[in-house]
């Protein structure tokens, strides 16, 4: 299993020269901005232009769009996994679970079309980084859910896979809504109230 702070992209694929490294980092930074603005289908040529490099430079570093998506996601996934690990020692088990699940939901809402792209990669590249990240996120969420079940703050029959799927479903359902953030909050509140042992928080 890849540790939370480790970039799972192969070391051999990373640029070594200083100028190539700068180009690589600029492309990732501009891709983050463009994906947040326009979704993961944003123009790659426009990303290259914003990064101040030729389109050919982008395609040398990232031959496929998915390569660039994976590079953008790498650090953020590691942060979510690390957050899950740190929250295992939080005093309030329900708040810890809620905090992590909300962070995962916000991540899913950041880039329009991300869920479909990640799902396609996970299904067709079982040994790729997306599959590894899916496993890491699932394990982090499962650990928080297990802790919450053991202390009785959520219902005992809360299934790990079902709960994780519902987070993704909320992101998918809300991403194209005019009030996507507000709708996601409403659906998330319903999910958490359903998980809480004894019903909604009073």
* Residue-by-residue pLDDT tens, the chain, 202 positions: 444 444 444 444 555 588 889 999 999 999 999 988 888 889 999 999 999 999 999 999 999 888 898 888 888 888 999 999 999 999 999 999 999 999 999 988 887 766 566 655 544 555 667 678 778 889 999 999 999 999 999 999 999 999 998 998 898 888 878 888 899 999 999 999 999 976 544 3
Going from the C-alpha of 70 to that of each of 74, 92, 117, 118, the distances in angstroms are 6, 33, 10, 9
Looking at the domain 10-63, which fold is it? Arc Repressor Mutant, subunit A (1.10.10)
- Could you tell me the residue ranges of all domains in the chain? 10-63, 65-202
Q: Write down the pTM of the prediction.
A: 0.75
Read off the tokens for 123: 């299904």
CA angle, 145 then 101 then 9, to 5° = 100
- How distant is the alpha carbon of residue 38 from its chain centre? 17
The CATH number of the structural domain formed by 65-202 is 1.10.357.10
Buried residues in 48-70 as b, exposed as e (16+ CB within 10 A): bebbebeeebbeebbeeebbbbb
């Amino acid at each position: 299993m890849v540790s939370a702070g480790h970039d799972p992209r192969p070391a051999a694929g990373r640029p070594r020269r200083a100028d190539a490294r700068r180009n690589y980092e600029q492309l990732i930074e501009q891709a983050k901005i463009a994906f947040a603005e326009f979704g993961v289908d944003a123009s790659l040529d426009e990303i290259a232009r914003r990064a101040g490099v030729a389109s050919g430079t982008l395609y040398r570093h990232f031959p496929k769009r998915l390569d660039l998506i994976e590079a953008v996601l790498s650090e953020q996934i590691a942060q979510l996994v690390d957050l899950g690990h740190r929250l295992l020692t939080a005093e309030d088990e329900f708040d810890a679970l809620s905090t992590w699940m909300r962070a995962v939901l916000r991540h899913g809402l950041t880039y329009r079309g991300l869920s479909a792209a990640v799902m396609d990669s996970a299904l067709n590249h079982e040994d790729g980084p997306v599959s590894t990240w899916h496993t890491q996120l699932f394990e982090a969420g499962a650990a928080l859910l297990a802790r919450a079940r053991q202390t009785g703050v959520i219902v005992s029959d809360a299934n790990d896979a079902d709960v994780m799927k519902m987070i993704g479903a909320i992101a998918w359902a809300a991403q194209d809504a005019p009030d996507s953030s507000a709708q996601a909050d409403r659906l998330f509140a319903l999910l958490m109230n359903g998980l809480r042992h004894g019903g909604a928080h009073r």
